[in-house]
Structures are given as C-alpha cells and as structure tokens.
Amino acid sequence: MEMIDFKNYVDEKACITVPVTLPGVSNNVNLFMKRTDLVHPVISGNKWYKMKYNIVEMKNLGFDTLLTFGGAFSNHIHAAAHAGKIFSFKTIGLIRGEEHLPLNTTLQTAVDDGMELHYVDRTTFRKRETEEFLNSIRERFGNVFLLPVGGTNKIALKGCAEIIDQIDIDYNYICSASGSGGTFAGLVAGLKGSKHAIAFPALKGGEFLEEVISDLVSEYTGKTFSNWRLNTDYHFGGFAKLSKELIDFTHEFEQLNGFELDYIYTNKMMFGIADLIKKGFFKPGETIIAIHSGGLQGNEGMREKVKKFG
C-alpha cells in the first residue's frame, strides 16, 4: 500500500489524553479524555481515523472521485469534502432528504470545498446498500470509490485501531460514542482482547449495533472478542435528541474542563459515564479513557434546539 505523508496535513500527536472532571461526580474514579478532535480543524476526530486508509486505498486503486452518503448536518460529509480538497480528489455527497436553500453551514462548507451534492429521498436512502441502488450509482456517476455512511467499512477499522496505540497511560476501560459502529469496532480490534470497552449508541434502538460491530471486528481481525459491550441507556430519546438535564450537564462540563463536547455523540457518552460512576458500575481507583470523537461543527446546527430548552 502506497503511503501518503499525512503528517503534512494532520497532527495525530496533537491528540492529547487529558484528565477531566465530571459535574456532580465525587467518586475517585480516574477519568481521561483522548482528544482526537484536535487531529485537524475540519477532518476532526474519528472522521480522520476512519478516512485515512480509505484515502490510501482509493488512490492505490486509481480512483479520482469519492462518493459517500450522509444527512444534512453530517460530520462525515463535512470531513469528506475537505479531505477531497486537501488530498486532491473529487467528492460527491448523496444527502438524505430534500434540498433546503439556503444551505446550512455543514452543506455550504462542503460545497465550498468542492463537493457535488445530490439529494436522495429517505425511502431510497434506506436502500443504499442494495445491489440495485449501487448499480444505479455506477450507471449515474461512473467509476467512483464508494464510502458508506459515517465512513464505516473494514478499511476504516485500521485507522481507528491506531487510536489505542496512541494512548500513553494505563487504563481499565475505554469508552466511545457510537453511530455507525466503525470507530468502536476499530477500538475493539486495537485492544486485541485486553481491557474493557463500552460503546454508547447516540440513537434509539442502538441494539442492532451489537451485530454490526461484531461482524466488523471479526471481518477485520478474523477473531471475536468478549471484552466489549453496548450501553443503550443514554440516547435521550433518539439521534440528535436533547433534554434540559443533558444540556445543563454539557454546559457544566465545558465550564469545568475548558473545552466543548458535541451535542449529538460525546455529551451523551459523558453523561452516561457520569451516571455509571454514580451508580457504582466503575469502581474507585479504576481508570477510564473516553474518546472525544470530534463533530463540533455539528453544534452549529443544534444551537436552535439547545435554545428551546432555555
């Protein structure tokens, strides 16, 4: 595999591991956050680690266009467009739903970075992995490198597994929010059966991710591991849903620690960790690493929702 010198563009060494304080938690559990959000200002957090080797694969296979999928506020669409700009390949985004003008900041930034947008109705979007739909894409757009929703595929796991090697302190648990399952599957692969890992799905009905993650891990490593679990108790009603309690927690966390969480993924995970500490799931003296998976650009689209809670 030909390697691109990514160090000219991103700084994985900037992804420091920092101690954090949780609102209302006095138990002496040691909690740290791996700041993968600092890897790049736009291709932030897990999006970089998932995309990294897909870019290498695309270039090696001779593709000059990446086609991918996402919603109107998708961190992945935002990151993919910018990756195309800095690594010199074309990008096409198939966006779930109808076009709304003016474009929101996420999609306008993607267009400014050179991404060509096309809109797909929600029923068709759900069929995006069927052979019929994939054939229609090839007929319409020609020879393109397809990257699934959220950037999750087997190749993505290689980059996410490297996050484990970049943690320089000992720990008992690693925790990650989960959307499409790829980041967490990569972390499980990187752990190779050691430590414990917990995924916090950001969407309601996230139990399906158990099979997705298990399949991704076994496809990538050829093995199955039993050191991981899902906790589906902290979705707050569904994807991008909020509550006053969650918003207050998020604001207090930011005041205590001096950096932002995103409103869709990491704040729910951190709330979940705080609650589990209070309930005694994590024991005094144990050390937890929580992954800050970036996505802060999405906060712009959540501000109106946040305001409604006062």
- Computed over its alpha carbons, how large is the radius of gyration of the chain? 19
Q: How far is CA 250 from CA 27, 120, 257, 258, 308, in A?
A: 19, 33, 11, 11, 15
Counting Cα atoms < 13 Å in the Cβ hemisphere of 177 gives: 31
Whether residues 175 and 245 share a domain: the answer is yes
pLDDT tens digits, residue range 8-21? 889 999 999 999 99
Is 189 found in the same domain as 133?
no
Instruction: State the pTM of this model.
Output: 0.94
Domain count, the chain: 2
Q: Are residues 66 and 94 in the same domain?
A: yes
Q: Which of 106, 121, 151 is the last residue of a domain?
A: 151
Structural domain contains residue 255: yes
State yes or no: pLDDT of 80 exceeds 90: yes
> Which amino acid would we find at residue 122?
R
**pLDDT bucket at 113, cuts 50 / 70 / 90:** very high
Question: 286 and 217 share a domain?
Answer: yes
Residues whose CB is less than 8 angstroms from the CB of residue 118 and which lie 6 or more positions away in sequence, other chains included: 92, 93, 94, 95
Q: Do 179 and 238 belong to one domain?
A: yes
Give residue 69's region: left, alpha or beta (phi > 0; psi -120 to 50). beta
Say if residue 4's pLDDT is above 80.
no
Q: Domain of 18: which CATH number?
A: 3.40.50.1100
Higher pLDDT, 26 or 146: 146
What gap in Å lies between CA 18 and CA 15, rounded to an integer? Answer: 9
Q: Does the pLDDT at position 310 exceed 80?
A: no
Last residue of a domain, one of 106, 129, 151: 151
Among the residue ranges 221-225, 260-264, 298-302, the one predicted with the least confidence is 298-302
Say yes or no: 116 and 232 in one domain.
no
Does residue 184 lie within any of the structural domains? yes
Domain enclosing residue 296, as ranges = 6-42+160-308
Same domain, 219 and 201: yes
Summarize the confidence of residues 274-294 as an average pLDDT.
96
The predicted structure's pLDDT at residue 1: 44
pLDDT tens digits along 18-67 = 999 999 898 789 999 999 999 999 999 999 999 999 999 999 999 999 99
Per-residue pLDDT of 172-213, as tens digits, reads: 999 999 999 999 999 999 999 999 999 999 999 999 999 999
In a domain, 1, yes or no: no
Domain boundary among 118, 151, 184: 151
Instruction: Assess contact for 252 and 267: CB atoms under 8 A.
Output: no
Average pLDDT, the chain: 94
Q: Convert the pLDDT of each residue in 233-271 to its tens digit.
A: 999 999 999 999 999 999 999 999 999 999 999 999 999
pLDDT grade for 3, boundaries at 50, 70 and 90:
low
User: In angstroms, rounded to a whole number, what is the distance separating the alpha carbons of residues 1 and 130?
Assistant: 29
